[in-house]
Amino acid sequence: MIRHNHNDENVHGNGRKHEHVHGNSNIGTAFFLNLAFSIIEVVGGSITNSVAILSDALHDLGDSVSLALAWYFQKLSRKKRDSEYSYGYRRFSLLGALINSVVLLIGSIFVISESISRLASPKEADAKGMFLLAILGIVINGFAMLKLKKGHSLNERTVSLHLLEDVLGWVAVLVASVIMIFVEIPVLDPILSLGIACYILFNIYNNLRDALRVILQGTPENINGEEIERALLNIEGIESVHDLHLWTMDGEYNISSVHIVVGANQDSSGIMELKRQVKQIFKQFNVQHSTVEVERNEENCEDRDNCC
């Protein structure tokens, strides 16, 4: 049974390796595009006197940190387990999420503070300059987003969604700049920057919540432990189930452990078949690695009495 799982990994190993290499290339391209445009935004935002563009520049710099970390940790997460990290390196990807969230949080607080002061005394922004930067922002971020949208890894899909936020933000800047070309509303710029900052803070909260749930070994949100337990009890030969634990390494690779109780007369071949069926049930529920301990019904399990 263990040999079968190992062979499965060998069969798909080359495909996964190709996806990882392709994914690294996509994230690398997105990183350099995003970093270059962030520098353009800082210069352009200063020239146009637009706090909305400067706020998005901070956002994009945060995205650049995120992309760099995602690029690095995607490579690192491919390392196999060793004596130092017996579960492997998958969870290192969470470190990037936490660092990026802190960067974005600090930037958002700065933007909100600056926007509030601009609301009290609005300053005129260069609407035409904002319009040109918005067009450039939509093109560059849109290209990077489409590049990553073709990927299959969780890293690529997550970063693609992040870049989609950037595209939507630049669409908002584009609309505001068009309005300001025809109507002088200097207060529109800080209002827009406040909206962008609040939207970023909302996403920071979601990212931190998801990362902390994984770090604290919460049950994966897309897996129902009660449904798994019912499915296991439907297997003929299993009398009861206890100490079912479910957690995830990185939000994608899920792990479980469980104790199953069988009849006293169950032979070794029957036990091996039950373990095979249990592992198959876990795979159906998107649990990639499972540990199954078998007990006969006359045994007293210490773990059951001391279960946390």
Residue 72: the pLDDT is 81
Last residue of a domain, one of 182, 215, 248: 215
Q: Could you tell me which of 2, 87, 10, 8 has the C-alpha nearest to residue 275?
A: 2
In a domain, 220, yes or no: no
Number of structural domains (the chain) is 2
193 class by beta-carbon count within 10 Å (0-12 exposed, 13-18 middle, 19+ buried)? buried
Claim to verify: residue 289 and residue 211 sit in the same structural domain: no
User: If DSSP codes are grouped into helix, strand and coil, which group holds residue 36?
Assistant: helix
Over the stretch 119-176, which tens digit does the pLDDT of each residue have? 877 767 778 888 888 898 888 878 877 776 665 555 566 666 667 767 777 787 788 8
Residue 141: the pLDDT is 79
- Residue 131: other Cβ atoms inside 10 A: 19
Q: Residue 179 and residue 132: Cα distance in Å, rounded?
A: 14
CATH code at position 13: 1.20.1510.10
Claim to verify: residue 131 and residue 55 sit in the same structural domain: yes
Give the confidence band of 52 by pLDDT, cuts at 50, 70, 90: low
Residue 74: the pLDDT is 67
Q: Residue 282 and residue 227: Cα distance in Å, rounded?
A: 11
The label of the residue with tokens 């309005």 reads 179
CATH code at position 250: 3.30.70.1350
Rounded average pLDDT over 73-101: 77
Q: Domain containing 99: what range?
A: 2-215
Q: Residue 299 and residue 172: Cα distance in Å, rounded?
A: 66
Q: Residue 144 and residue 153: Cα distance in Å, rounded?
A: 15
In this predicted structure, the answer to whether residue 102 has a pLDDT above a threshold of 60 is yes
In this predicted structure, the answer to whether residue 10 has a pLDDT above a threshold of 50 is no
Contacts of 179 (CB under 8 A, 6+ apart): 185, 188
Over the stretch 233-291, which tens digit does the pLDDT of each residue have? 999 999 999 999 999 988 888 999 999 999 888 888 999 999 999 999 999 999 999 99
List C-alpha distances in Å: 27 to 35, 97, 133.
12, 15, 23
Q: What is the mean pLDDT of the chain?
A: 78
Q: Residue 84 and residue 223: Cα distance in Å, rounded?
A: 29
Q: Residue 173 and residue 189: Cα distance in Å, rounded?
A: 8
Contacts of 224 (CB under 8 A, 6+ apart): 285
Edge-first strand listing for the sheet containing 289-296: 238-248, 254-262, 289-296
User: If DSSP codes are grouped into helix, strand and coil, which group holds residue 110?
Assistant: helix
The two structure tokens encoding residue 34: 């995003």
Claim to verify: residue 130 and residue 79 sit in the same structural domain: yes
48 class by beta-carbon count within 10 Å (0-12 exposed, 13-18 middle, 19+ buried)? buried
Amino acid at site 219? T
DSSP β-ladder status, 289-296 and 238-248 = unpaired
Residue 233: the pLDDT is 94
Residue 156: the pLDDT is 62
Claim to verify: residue 64 and residue 208 sit in the same structural domain: yes
Last residue of a domain, one of 180, 215, 250: 215
Amino acid at site 95? L
Amino acid at site 302? E
Size (the chain), residues: 308
Claim to verify: residue 43 and residue 189 sit in the same structural domain: yes
In a domain, 198, yes or no: yes
Q: Between vectors from CA 286 to CA 284 and to CA 291, what angle results, nearest 5°?
A: 85
Last residue of a domain, one of 155, 186, 215: 215
Residue-wise over 18-46: b if at least 16 C-beta within 10 A, else e?
Answer: eebeebbebbebbbebbbebbebbbebbe
Contacts of 239 (CB under 8 A, 6+ apart): 261, 262, 263, 297
Over pLDDT 70: what percentage of the chain? Answer: 78
Residue 3: the pLDDT is 38
More confident residue, 101 or 209: 209
Residue 144: the pLDDT is 77
Contact 85, 247 (CB under 8 A): no
Give the confidence band of 4 by pLDDT, cuts at 50, 70, 90: very low
Rounded average pLDDT over 63-87: 77
- Residue 63: other Cβ atoms inside 10 A: 28
The label of the residue with tokens 């146009």 reads 48
More confident residue, 56 or 296: 296
In a domain, 88, yes or no: yes
Claim to verify: residue 171 and residue 273 sit in the same structural domain: no
In a domain, 36, yes or no: yes
Q: Residue 164 and residue 177: Cα distance in Å, rounded?
A: 20
Claim to verify: residue 125 and residue 236 sit in the same structural domain: no
The pTM is what?
0.66
